[in-house]
Amino acid sequence: MSKTDNTLIYLRSENARIGLKELSRHLKKSPQRLKYSLSVLEHDEILNQPYCVFDYSYFGLILFRVYFKGAYIREKDKNNIIAELQKNNYIISLYELSGEFDLVVEFASPNPSRFNKELKKVTT
């Protein structure tokens, strides 16, 4: 693997949303060459499903994760619960689980008090 590929891997891992134009500016390579290099790295599974990690404290927020158990019986009930949860502006992600818990809900709120108020809205 060449030095440029290592630099490409580093830049892509630091910022998964970086555009080809910006990458080409950093590496002094054409966007077409970089697109090909990225596709080779993905094909070889060196880069696999890049994603961004957010530091919520940078935005003045605290992340709270709540696990729900036994929240529904039928598939229709589950879809209704998920639809209601998605309407809340403080909920940033929602996951379905198998096993002990049914749902995981992540809240981003400015303080614990706001989180408690939003959790009460969701659970009533």
Domain residue extents for the chain: 3-43, 56-123
Mean pLDDT of the chain: 87
Query: Nearest 5°: CA angle at 70, between 61 and 110?
Result: 10
CA dist list (Å): 43 to 37, 67, 110, 114: 10, 36, 41, 45
| Predicted TM-score (pTM) of this structure | 0.60
| pLDDT, tens only, 28-57 | 999 999 999 888 888 888 888 777 778 888
* Cα 82 to Cα 13: distance, rounded to the nearest angstrom: 32
> Going edge to edge, which strands form the sheet with 103-109?
62-68, 103-109, 91-96
Q: Which pair of structure tokens corresponds to residue 124?
A: 């009533």
What band does 21 get if pLDDT is binned at 50, 70 and 90?
Answer: very high
Give the residue with greater pLDDT, 120 vs 16: 120
- Selected from 1.10.3860.10, 3.30.950.10, 3.30.365.10, 3.30.70.920, the CATH number assigned to the domain covering 56-123 reads 3.30.70.920
Q: Does domain 3-43 have CATH number 3.40.50?
A: no
* Cα 24 to Cα 8: distance, rounded to the nearest angstrom: 10
For range 102-119, the mean pLDDT: 94
What band does 3 get if pLDDT is binned at 50, 70 and 90?
Answer: low
pLDDT of residue 118: 93
Q: Which pair of structure tokens corresponds to residue 24?
A: 């080409």
pLDDT of residue 71: 60
What band does 104 get if pLDDT is binned at 50, 70 and 90?
Answer: very high
